[in-house]
Structure 1
Amino acid sequence: MLRLSAAPYLGVRAVGQEQIRPDQGGLLLSNHQSFLDPVVLGLPLDRSITFLARDSLFRVPLFGRYLKAMKTLPIARNAPATAVMRDALAALERGELVGLFPEGTRTADGSLGDLKPGFVTLARRGKTPIYPVGIAGAFECLPRSRRIPLPSPGRVCVVFGEPIPTEEIAAAGGAAGIVSLVTERIAAAHALAVSWRETGEEPGGVDAIGSKG
């Protein structure tokens, strides 16, 4: 249903999703543009994504209902995240995709903010590839400043970057090294998505799931 409605309305285009292996789990780490991000990340994939999100988002009208329907794991800001991390690691071990927005909050201007190190535990212990993702255009459809969370039609580009294998994650060293590595890869994917949206030049191997335009 979302493919038939949301994809054309938001003008979603995606490239690189064929790199996600269908036979194993993976950690999807993306920049955070708007409440639409879980939707536009899931639209190009034939697999479901278990997202981690702040518990306060579950109180947002309609969006909170969507999160519950997608079996999103709530993270309480003032409570230990041990149980959530355990559930997320279990999902990875079962071969599922786990999605997280490591900036921790939506961008105020469309740019990529600093990544929080909360994802490092999953990166280290998950023993699965990290898939860096860049989103451009979701901010314009539904910016953080909009009081009523109703999206405008737009053109959203999603770039799934080259996977980061477990060996490269281990070689990055401590938490700071892993954060730096992932920041670099998400920034590269985001830059490609921005360029694609602005110029119309596809990064290559595009899979258009909405109408052209």
Structure 2
Amino acid sequence: MNLYPLGKALVSIIFYPLYRIRVIGKENMPKDNGVLLCSNHIDNLDPPTVGITSPRLVNFMAKEELFEAPILKGLLPKLQAFPVKRGASDRQAIRKALQLLKSGEVVGLFPEGTRSTTGELGEGMAGAGFLALRGECDVVPCAIIGPYKPFKRLTVIYGQPLPMKELRERKASAEEVTQIIMQSIQNLIDTHKNIEK
């Protein structure tokens, strides 16, 4: 049973007025192709925020520990999430992500691997670059500009798909592609962080 549409509707009713969510760049999300959606990570509420603001359904890579909680274990798969082991090369999660991307789905991940404790963008993990290179997909950077405080403006920006053809053709490294993704996210943050609240 897919609870994503219901969950999106319920969370939207709460989040949009509570955090005064503004969404920029929805039109940048490709309508048909597989998409690797890469966002910064500032709060535990980031996944539902991206989930309700994205114009397409997002399959999230979520840390394995969440699937050990009694309620979440049964709920997360129904919300299109699948587990990934942090700090290690999780081949099963990578295979799942590649399968989704190549079948035209959207896979959402937070390349930093964990929430930023400073609010600043951290270093991205090479797995993002690997999926971007191997996924035969578009790669869309996303920036969440907070904070998550009631009735304070929260902005979500979807950037234009990154040009991947040349990187794939010259067999760029996963690390290099991850750096390009992270710089694109940083550029979105820098461009939009001074928007009038």
Judge conservation of contact 1:35–1:63 (CA < 8 Å) in 2.
no
Task: Return the alpha-carbon distance in structure 1 between the equivalents of residues 96 and 145 of structure 2.
Answer: 30
Judge conservation of contact 1:159–1:192 (CA < 8 Å) in 2.
no
Q: Please state if 1:161 is matched with 2:159.
A: yes
Judge conservation of contact 1:128–1:165 (CA < 8 Å) in 2.
no
Query: Which 10-residue stretch deviates more, 88-97 or 3-12?
Result: 3-12
Judge conservation of contact 1:30–1:133 (CA < 8 Å) in 2.
yes
Q: Which residue is 1:208 aligned to?
A: none
Task: Return the alpha-carbon distance in structure 1 between the equivalents of residues 60 and 39 of structure 2.
Answer: 11
Residue identity opposite 1:107 in structure 2: S
Call closer, same or farther: CA 1:72–1:82 in 2, change over 3 Å.
Answer: same
Offset at 1:54?
A: 1.0
Q: Which residue is 1:195 aligned to?
A: 194
Q: TM-score, normalised by structure 1?
A: 0.78
* Number of residue pairs aligned between Structure 1 and Structure 2: 187
Call closer, same or farther: CA 1:55–1:108 in 2, change over 3 Å.
Answer: same
Offset at 1:60?
A: 6.2
Q: Please state if 1:125 is matched with 2:123.
A: no
For structure 2, which runs of at least 5 residues remain unmatched after alignment? Answer: 1-9
Offset at 1:6?
A: 1.6
Call closer, same or farther: CA 1:187–1:131 in 2, change over 3 Å.
Answer: same
Task: Return the alpha-carbon distance in structure 1 between the equivalents of residues 80 and 116 of structure 2.
Answer: 24
Q: Which residue is 1:114 aligned to?
A: 123
Between the aligned residues of both structures, percent identity stands at 32
Call closer, same or farther: CA 1:66–1:157 in 2, change over 3 Å.
Answer: farther
Measured against aligned partners, the alpha-carbon deviations of 1:95-129 in whole angstroms (never above 9, x if no partner) come to: 11100100010010211011111212211110111
1:23-38 equivalences in 2 (<5 Å): 23-38=32-47
Judge conservation of contact 1:135–1:193 (CA < 8 Å) in 2.
no
Task: Return the alpha-carbon distance in structure 2 between the equivalents of residues 165 and 62 of structure 1.
Answer: 40
For structure 1, which runs of at least 5 residues remain unmatched after alignment? Answer: 142-150, 201-213
Residue identity opposite 1:174 in structure 2: S
Q: Select 1:9's aligned residue among 1, 15, 18.
A: 18
Residue identity opposite 1:163 in structure 2: P
Offset at 1:89?
A: 0.8
Secondary structure, in 3 states, of the residue corresponding to 2:108?
strand
Call closer, same or farther: CA 1:162–1:191 in 2, change over 3 Å.
Answer: same
Q: Select 2:103's aligned residue among 91, 94, 98.
A: 94
Task: Return the alpha-carbon distance in structure 2 between the equivalents of residues 66 and 10 of structure 1.
Answer: 24
Task: Return the alpha-carbon distance in structure 2 between the equivalents of residues 116 and 79 of structure 1.
Answer: 10
Call closer, same or farther: CA 1:169–1:15 in 2, change over 3 Å.
Answer: farther
Task: Return the alpha-carbon distance in structure 1 between the equivalents of residues 155 and 68 of structure 2.
Answer: 28
Q: TM-score, normalised by structure 2?
A: 0.84
Task: Return the alpha-carbon distance in structure 1 between the equivalents of residues 42 and 75 of structure 2.
Answer: 17
Call closer, same or farther: CA 1:172–1:195 in 2, change over 3 Å.
Answer: farther
Judge conservation of contact 1:32–1:105 (CA < 8 Å) in 2.
yes
Residue identity opposite 2:176 in structure 1: G
Q: Which residue is 1:203 aligned to?
A: none
